[in-house]
Amino acid sequence: MKTIIAACSQNLSGSRASIQTALRTLLAVPWPSQRDVGSALQLLAVLQWVLSFLLLGTVSLLLLIYLLFTSFWLIPVLYLAWIIFDWDTPEKGGRRLSCLRRWTVWKHFRDYFPVKLVKTHDLSPSHNYIIGSHPHGILCVGAFCNFITGSTGFEELFPGIRSCLTTLAPAGQLHLAPSAVLRPAAGLFPVTRRAIGYLLSQKGTGNAVAIVIGGAAESLSCRPGVTTLILKNRKGFVRMALRHGAFLVPSFSFGENDLFRQVVFEEGSWMRSVQRRFQKMIGFAPCLFYGRGLLSCRSRGFLPYASPITTVVGEPLAVPKVENPSRELVDRYHELYVRALLKLFDDNKTKYGLSESDELHIL
């Protein structure tokens, strides 16, 4: 009996010593620094945004279809009923929720690159504005961060101005996907005449509607070191500005094209033809691009590289209100806008990573 008690005492002493050793080892391991935690939060913020941008609409739509054939069929039925009832909301100003723009996650998203907004001139709350956002890049990071979220201080830099962004939603996602409920609430609207016209005519003054004018076609030529815009024949935004008397404001996001690496196919090649056809059918261009990996910036993945983006908002161009503008008038103000954009680019290119010899090419 004494032998058993002695053995148990020895085992308990050994276990206690093992636990103490383990605790000492654990305490000796360096805890993550505040910088490491911040970097992890930034990475997660960008990850959720990329997944939402690329997959949320499609995955949500497939999930709703799946639920129709399960015992939860009532959920997609009720959602579909709500969508039918609420069909016109995205094109009628949405239901803006300021809290979505102030989410802390957007500050981590901003700091990952980082993204910075630069003001060159005041915008008066007594007017409405159409802000041309250039370039498109792959995922419009600069336009999203500056005109959708409040993380870069748009409302503080331009007091009395409410910004929003219009975009072309992929086929099937504009109304049916659950992301269609959140988009108008955050300030993201379809780039249609009806939606833009409503924002410029039914919401009073002090509205700034940002449009990524180059669109999906411009993303096909996006690559580091290239500053080419699709703008020469894009004049619909000028016509809308004239019809509503909205001032035109050029903006340029320096660094937008440095976030990803893309396989660019030459014009006339069969792969470029396939991309063009998909663009017409589904609303966006299927680009072959890559960025950094999730666990290492040296590996390849689908996350953007941490490259600084500086969005410079230029001088507003006064536009008269003309209900039925002539083609000559549209061409005139389009030319004035292009000149203002070129001046904005040339005045700021050396400040934000480009050389004096870099030029802005407009196709």
CATH of the domain at 76: 3.40.1130
What is the tens place of the pLDDT at every residue in 29-60?
566 677 778 888 999 999 988 888 777 777 87
Give the whole-angstrom CA distance, residue 100 versus residue 248: 27
The reply to whether 291 falls in a domain is: yes
Domain count, the chain: 1
The total number of residues written for the chain in this structure: 363
Low-confidence ranges of the chain (pLDDT < 70): 1-18, 20, 22-32, 169-187, 264-268, 270, 272, 275-276, 279-286
Give the whole-angstrom CA distance, residue 143 versus residue 309: 10
Q: What is the DSSP string of 258-310?
A: GS-EE-PPPTTSHHHHHHHHHHHHHSS----EEEE-SS-TTSEESBPP---EE
Q: 315 — phi, psi (to 5°)?
A: -80, 135
Range of the domain at 261: 36-354
CB-count exposure of residue 337 (10 Å: 0-12, 13-18, 19+): buried
pLDDT of residue 299: 85
Q: Where are the beta strands (DSSP E) in the chain?
A: 115-119, 129-134, 162-167, 188-190, 207-212, 228-229, 247-254, 261-262, 289-292, 300-301, 309-313, 361-362
CA 307 to chain CA centroid, Å, is 15
Q: Hey, CA dihedral for 274, 278, 284, 289, is it positive or negative?
A: negative
Q: 201 — phi, psi (to 5°)?
A: -125, -25
User: Kindly report the CA angle at 145 between 234 and 191, in degrees rounded to 5?
Assistant: 35
Q: Count CA atoms within 13 Å of residue 342 on its CB side.
A: 12
| Inter-axis angle of helices 34-51 and 104-112, nearest 10 | 100
Give the whole-angstrom CA distance, residue 174 versus residue 45: 24
Residue type, 264: V
For the chain, give percent helix, strand, coil, nearest 5: 50, 15, 40
pLDDT of residue 237: 95
The reply to whether 122 falls in a domain is: yes
> Tokens at residue 314, please?
């230029």
pLDDT of residue 93: 73
* Sheet-wide strand order for 300-301: 261-262, 289-292, 300-301
Element (H, E) at 126: none
Give the whole-angstrom CA distance, residue 332 versus residue 227: 24
What percent of the chain clears pLDDT 70, i.e. is strictly above it? Answer: 80
The reply to whether 6 falls in a domain is: no
The reply to whether 12 falls in a domain is: no
CB-based burial, 187-222: b 16+ in 10 Å, e otherwise? bbbbbeeebbebbbeebeebbbbbbbbbbbebbbbb
The reply to whether 29 falls in a domain is: no
The reply to whether 142 falls in a domain is: yes
pLDDT of residue 351: 93
pLDDT of residue 170: 47
The reply to whether 2 falls in a domain is: no
The reply to whether 5 falls in a domain is: no
